Amino acid sequence: MPQDKPLISIVIVAYDMAREIPRTVASFLPPYQICVSATDIEIIVVENGSPSPVAQETIAGWPANVRYMMADPVTTTPATALNQGIAAARGDYICAVIDGARMASPGLLKYTMQATGLAAEPAVATVGCHIGYKLQAVAVKEGYCQAIEDEMLAAIDWQNNGYDLFNISCFGGSAPSGWLGNLAESNAITLSRRMMAELGGFDERFDIPGGGIVNLDFFRRAVEHPDTTYMLVMGEATFHQYHGGVTTSRPVARADAETPGLSTWQRYARQYRQITGKAWAVPTVEPVMIGGFTPQGRKALQRAATEFLARQKDKTAAAST
C-alpha cells in the first residue's frame, strides 16, 4: 500500500464537542492504537456547524494524517456531514464515527485492519459503552456530569492504559448484552469504499435534529446486505463521553416535545417507517467474531454474560405467561 494512501479513513462528526473531540482523535491514533502506524490511517473530523468548534491550538497540534473540515451545507442531521467526510476520504476502507464523543479502545483498528483481509466485503463493527456505571440518560439524573467524567478519566490514565475504560463504563442501550447479544448499531463501523457507495452512505432523509435513528438504519442496511460479511470485534468497544447529546442525555421513552402523544423513540420509529416503508427491528444477522480479550475486557465479558443470561431468562418467563 503506498504510504500516501491510508488503508482506513476514520470519519468523525463533531457538533459542539470541543471537550470531547481531542480525546476521541487521540484514541484513534497510534501509539494509543496498537499495531497501527500513522501511514495506515487518516482521520477526518467534520465540524457540523458547532457554536463552539474545536480550538485552533488543538487542531494545530494534530499530526499530518488528521484533517479538520467544516460541513457545507450544515444540516440538522449528522448524516450530511458524515457523507461529506466520506467523500473526502482517501482510504480503501471507511470507518464511520457518527458521534464524535466516542473514544475507541486500543485494539479496535488492529482487528479492523485484520478483518479487511478476511472477507471480500467485511462490515466490521463493535459495541458501544457509556463512560460511567449507568446509562448516561439515567446517570445524569443522579448528578453525573462532565466534571465527574473528567475525574474518572484522569484517574485511570486512559492514554497509557486505554483498556481501563472498561473499568469505568457500562454497555450502552444499543448493546445491552455486550458482544453476546444482537447490536442495534455501532458507532465505529467500517466498510469498503465500494460498499459504502453501494449503500448510498448515510440517509440524509433522517432530518430530525441529531439524525433520529439514521445510524441504526445504516448499521442494519450494512450488516443485512447480501454481499457483506458482518464481523464483530470482540474485546474492543467505543466509549461515549457525556456531552448532553440528543439521545444519550435523556431517555428516549419519555414524551417528545415536538410530537405530543409520542415518546422520542416513537417519533424516531415513525420516521424510520415513513422513510423505509417497514418497521424498525434490531438486525439478527449472526456475526463472524474476531478479536481478543485483555483482563479488563474479560471482566466486561463476564458482565455481558450476566446481562445476556438475565435477558434470556426474562424472555423465557414472558413466553411462558
Quote the mean pLDDT of the chain. Answer: 93
Kindly write down the DSSP assignment for every residue of 115-133, as one continuous string. Answer: HHTTSSSEEEEEEEEEESS
pLDDT of residue 4: 76
21-50 tens-digit pLDDT:
999 999 999 999 999 999 999 999 999 999
Q: Does residue 3 lie in a domain region?
A: no
Split at pLDDT 50, 70, 90, the class of 312 is: confident
Give residue-wise pLDDT tens across range 184-239: 999 999 999 999 999 999 999 999 999 999 999 999 999 999 999 999 999 999 99
Which range of residues forms the domain containing residue 161? 8-320
Predicted confidence at residue 200, as pLDDT, reads 98
Rounded to an integer, the average pLDDT of 65-94 is: 97
What is the number of domains present in the chain? 1
Q: Which helix (H) or strand (E) holds 153?
A: helix 146-156
Q: Check pLDDT > 60 for residue 255.
A: no
Average the pLDDT over 131-158 and give the result: 96
Query: How much is the pLDDT for 112?
Result: 98
Calpha distance 8→191 (Å, rounded): 9
Confirm whether 113 is domain-assigned.
Answer: yes
* Strand 8-14 versus strand 93-97 pairing type: parallel
Residue 243 CA to residue 60 CA, distance in Å, equals 23
> Which residue, among 109, 4, 11, has the nearest Cα to 64 in the 3D structure?
4
pTM given for the model: 0.93
SS3 content of the chain, % helix, strand, coil (to 5): 35, 20, 45
Q: How confident is the model at residue 311 (pLDDT cuts 50, 70, 90)?
A: confident
Q: What is the mean pLDDT of residues 263-274?
A: 95
183 inside domain? yes
Q: Is residue 286 part of a domain?
A: yes
Does the pLDDT of residue 2 top 50, yes or no? no
In a domain, 1, yes or no: no
pLDDT above 70 coverage of the chain, percent: 94
The rounded percent of the chain whose pLDDT value lies above 90 is 87
Q: Given a cut of 70, is residue 136 above it in pLDDT? A: yes
216 lies in some domain:
yes
Instruction: Quickly state the pLDDT bin for 261 (edges 50, 70, 90).
Output: confident
> In this predicted model, which residue has the larger pLDDT, 81 or 304?
81
pLDDT at 158 over 50: yes
CATH (domain of 99): 3.90.550.10
Q: What pLDDT score was predicted for residue 257?
A: 58
- Residue 2 inside a domain? The answer is no
For residue 248, the model assigns a pLDDT of 58
Q: Given the C-alpha cell 420509529, which residue does it identify? A: 269
